[in-house]
Amino acid sequence: MPTIDWILLLEAGYGLVVLAVVLRVIYDSNSTSKTLAYLLLVILVPIVGILFYFSFGINYRKRKMYSKKLATDEIFLKQFESRIEEIKKSFSDQQFPTVDSNRSMIRLLANKNIENSPLLIHNNAEILLNGEAFFPRLIEDLKAAKQHIHLEYYIYENDVIGNEIKNILIAKVKEGVRVRFIYDDFGCRSIRKNIVVELRSAGVEIYAFNKITWIALANRMNYRNHRKMVIIDGAISYTGGINISDRYANIPQAPASKYWRDTHLRIYGDATYALQHIFLSDWNFCSQQSLTVNADFFPIIDHDDNSKLPMQIVASGPDSQVPSILYSVVKAINDAQSEILFTTPYYIPDETLQQAMILAAMSGKKVKILLPKVSDSKMVQWASQSYFEELLEAGVELYFYQKGFIHAKCFVTDSGVSSIGTCNLDHRSFDLNFEVNAIVYDTEFADKMRQIFYEDCQHAVQLNYNRWFKRTHWTRLKNSFLRLFSPLL
């Protein structure tokens, strides 16, 4: 009687499983670089590669994570649509040279197949540098809230500023203000058993955006809500790179030993409507409620003659049909006349973004990117370095911030287009995270952003091409190897 070769059977079975997963990867991904990265992982790392793919690699752009539909008060909807038409008419009756010169970008972001982001012109906006400027302004507005406060954060820490804001929220609930708070369950894991419990017991309505459970642990860790938003009484709003943490305020009690440099935006005006809509969509998903679009959330905002700052709010995530923020960045690069300046803590681009940078530089445009000299992730830093030689050869200028860690996510062009938001220049932000950026069309605002960029560059060192070209073979190998897996970082 012949003996059964169990090892051979197991190898054959595993081979069939690998083949099935390979076919699934090829079928499921529309990104060549991501497909190749997962194929390498599945084939070269037995079992673990397969588990990693099914944990982190399922394409949620095809499998919608949640519905963006909101319940609507039909009577208010007609009034609101009429108000939007008035805004559009007001816009058409006035002269906005920067808007006129960037109409193709505005139409792109207003396209219903992207995010249908309307251009909203009646706004004032303040650029807030670091927590030193942001937290006092936020606290002032929170204390003045009359009707509701909506917060959505990727990171909220149980520290000095976290507890100060917690106490304000509790006090506002006692005054009769409705407070709703969405937190990312991964990024805010340090407050689950303390601040979250205290807020909930005090009457704050608080929910994890995508609660992590053992069954869906890896997938929910992978698809993170990276948004940082506050909406107060439907008129004032904030977004940008700053989370609720002492480290952003550079105070002595902060756990981080390095200086943190970040940029945030305070908005008063109609652009708050767009951030409010994003929040309500996220709220209805994570709370399983059905808040309606009504006058309480979208009030008529008083404007003066100086409230004329045209803006679009662009959101994206694994639920979006297309990577709309990536499209906005590439479009801004293409439309810049002679200069575009980027500030980002992470640079791991897809092929589209990398080629757009190279083409712009080779076309004679000044393309400058400001990055941290030392990243908070060695693997991300090494993968990022693999893209530098191509950029330098094309004429892109790379600067490394030395004063501390630069966490701002901004760009500005000489066409008068600026962006402040939550989105990094990497695969994760464009494809996996829930993000939001504010796009501003105004030359005076762009001049301020340009000035901030060059002030930051005073604390940076430019990367020299000849020196970078002479880096060791070990560094080249390390960079090239991690680039294979860059779509997964």
6: CB partners within 8 A, 6+ apart? none
Between 261 and 216, the higher pLDDT residue = 261
24 and 81 fall within a common domain: no
417: CB partners within 8 A, 6+ apart? 98, 102, 105, 332, 335, 336, 439, 440, 441, 446
Identify whether 100 is a catalytic site residue.
Answer: no
364 and 472 fall within a common domain: yes
189 and 96 fall within a common domain: yes
pLDDT at 217: 45
264 belongs to a structural domain: yes
Instruction: Lowest mean pLDDT of 252-261, 363-372, 379-388, 397-406, name the range.
Output: 252-261
277 and 404 fall within a common domain: no
At residue 62, does pLDDT exceed 60? no
> Residue 80: pLDDT band by 50, 70, 90 thresholds?
low
**Structure tokens belonging to residue 481:** 């190897």
Name the catalytic one among 159, 185, 233, 319.
233
Q: What is the mean pLDDT of residues 378-386?
A: 73
**pLDDT tens, 120-138?**
888 999 999 999 999 999 9
66 belongs to a structural domain: no
Name the catalytic one among 407, 427, 456, 478.
407
479 and 451 fall within a common domain: yes
182 and 152 fall within a common domain: yes
208 belongs to a structural domain: yes
At residue 83, does pLDDT exceed 70? no
**pLDDT tens, 84-119?**
666 655 555 566 888 888 989 998 998 877 767 888
Average pLDDT along the chain: 82
357 and 465 fall within a common domain: yes
> Residue 476: pLDDT band by 50, 70, 90 thresholds?
low
Domain that holds residue 439: 324-488
pLDDT at 29: 62
64 belongs to a structural domain: no
Are residues 259 and 405 in contact, defined by beta-carbon separation less than 8 angstroms? yes
Whose structure tokens read 């002492």?
246
**pLDDT tens, 10-54?**
666 666 766 766 676 666 665 666 666 666 666 666 665 566 555
Name the catalytic one among 73, 296, 414, 447.
414
Structural domain count of the chain: 3
319 belongs to a structural domain: no
**Structure tokens belonging to residue 478:** 């390390």
pLDDT at 215: 41
**Cβ–Cβ contacts within 10 Å for residue 6, how many?**
8
Identify whether 407 is a catalytic site residue.
Answer: yes
Q: What is the mean pLDDT of residues 204-212?
A: 86
CB-neighbour burial class of residue 149 (10 A; exposed 0-12, middle 13-18, buried 19+) = buried
1 belongs to a structural domain: no
Q: Which of 47-51, 227-231, 467-471 has the highest mean pLDDT?
A: 227-231
Share of the chain above pLDDT 70, in %: 72
48 and 166 fall within a common domain: no
Distance CA 389, CA 324 (A): 27
Name the catalytic one among 34, 264, 409, 478.
409
> Residue 479: pLDDT band by 50, 70, 90 thresholds?
low
Distance CA 277, CA 222 (A): 24
Identify whether 228 is a catalytic site residue.
Answer: yes
Distance CA 318, CA 60 (A): 5
333 and 478 fall within a common domain: yes
114 belongs to a structural domain: no
> Residue 208: pLDDT band by 50, 70, 90 thresholds?
very high
pLDDT at 3: 53
**pLDDT tens, 177-204?**
999 999 998 888 889 889 999 999 999 9
Instruction: Lowest mean pLDDT of 91-95, 205-209, 217-221, name the range.
Output: 217-221
222 and 332 fall within a common domain: no
pLDDT at 11: 60
339 and 441 fall within a common domain: yes
Q: Which of 78-92, 209-223, 455-469 has the highest mean pLDDT?
A: 455-469
Q: What is the CATH number of the domain that holds 302?
A: 3.30.870.10
pLDDT at 61: 46
At residue 313, does pLDDT exceed 60? yes
CA dist list (Å): 45 to 40, 52, 382:
8, 10, 21
> Residue 253: pLDDT band by 50, 70, 90 thresholds?
low
Identify whether 459 is a catalytic site residue.
Answer: no
Between 359 and 376, the higher pLDDT residue = 359
193 belongs to a structural domain: yes
Q: What is the mean pLDDT of residues 374-385?
A: 73
Identify whether 226 is a catalytic site residue.
Answer: yes
Whose structure tokens read 């767009």?
274
> Residue 258: pLDDT band by 50, 70, 90 thresholds?
confident
> Residue 220: pLDDT band by 50, 70, 90 thresholds?
very low
Identify whether 409 is a catalytic site residue.
Answer: yes
Name the catalytic one among 228, 368, 427, 478.
228
Distance CA 333, CA 1 (A): 72
137 and 272 fall within a common domain: yes
Name the catalytic one among 150, 226, 264, 331.
226
At residue 69, does pLDDT exceed 60? no
